[in-house]
Chain A
Amino acid sequence: EDQVTQSPEALRLQEGESSSLNCSYTVSGLRGLFWYRQDPGKGPEFLFTLYSAGEEKEKERLKATLTKKESFLHITAPKPEDSATYLCAVQETSGSRLTFGEGTQLTVNP
C-alpha cells in the first residue's frame, strides 16, 4: 500500500527565512509525485509534478526536488502570502488515484 509522510506537521517562519518541507513516500512504482498548495476553505491548487529521481522544478520562490525515497519543497525568502498547507501526493504506475500525505501547515510572519 502506498504511504506518504510529510514533515514537519507545522512550520513557522519569519519573512525572508528560507526552509524546506519534506515528503517521504513508499510506492510500488512511481508514476508521478505531485505538490499542491491548499488555502483554508479551498481545494488544493496544483504546483508541480516530478516524475523521476534527480528531477527539479521551480516556480517563483518554490523549488521541488525528488529522490527515490523523498521529495523536498524548498521555499526561498518566503513572504506572508506563501502561508498555506502544502500537500504532497504520489500516483503509482498501476492506477490513477493520488495518495496524499497529511500536509505541512506553513505560516510566514511579516
Chain B
Amino acid sequence: DTGVSQNPRHKITKRGQNVTFRCDPISEHNRLYWYRQTLGQGPEFLTYFQNEAQLEKSRLLSDRFSAERPKGSFSTLEIQRTEQGDSAMYLCASSPGTGANQPQHFGDGTRLSIL
C-alpha cells in the first residue's frame, strides 16, 4: 500500500496524559498536513509542512499541540496534557510539491478518545 499511513489507528488515554501520533506520507510527497475532525463535521486544518519546515499553523493549534517533521519524511503530532475536547479523529494528508493546488491525499486517521 503506497497511501498515507497513520499510527496508531486508535488511542485511548486518560485526561492529562500526553499522546503522540505518527504519519508517513506518500513517498516523494513533500507537503504534509494535519487536520482534526469531530463527529458530523468536516476536517479542520491544524498545520502544514513543506519538507521539514512548518509553514502554517492554525489558531486551533494551542500551545499543548506540537508537530514535527524531521528530515522532511514522516511527521509526529504530540498533544500534551490532553483534555476532553481533544477527542477527535486526527487526519494526516500529503501532496506533491509541484503546484500548491495539487490534491491532498488523506490517511485513515488516528481516533483519539479521552477518558
Contacts and interface: CB of A to CB of B under 8 A. Distances in A.
Interface stretch (A12-20, A76-84, A99-107): A99-107
Interface string B95-115: 000001101111111000000
Q: Name the 4 nearest CB pairs between A and B, nearest first.
A: A100-B42, A43-B106, A97-B45, A32-B101
Interface in A37-66: 41-46, 49, 51
Contacts, number: 62
A43 B56 CA distance: 22
A95 B91 contact: no
Q: How large is the interface on B (under 10, 10 to 19, 20 to 34, 35 or more residues)?
A: 20 to 34
Interface residues of A, number: 25
Contact of A31 (B58, B100, B109): B100
A43 B33 contact: no
B41 interface: yes
A75 interface: no
A35 B31 CA distance: 19
Given A31-B101, A96-B48, A97-B45, 20 more contacts: A31-B100, A36-B106, A41-B108, A43-B106, A43-B108, A43-B109, A44-B43, A44-B91, A44-B106, A89-B42, A91-B101, A96-B55, A96-B56, A96-B100, A97-B33, A97-B48, A98-B35, A98-B43, A99-B45, A102-B42
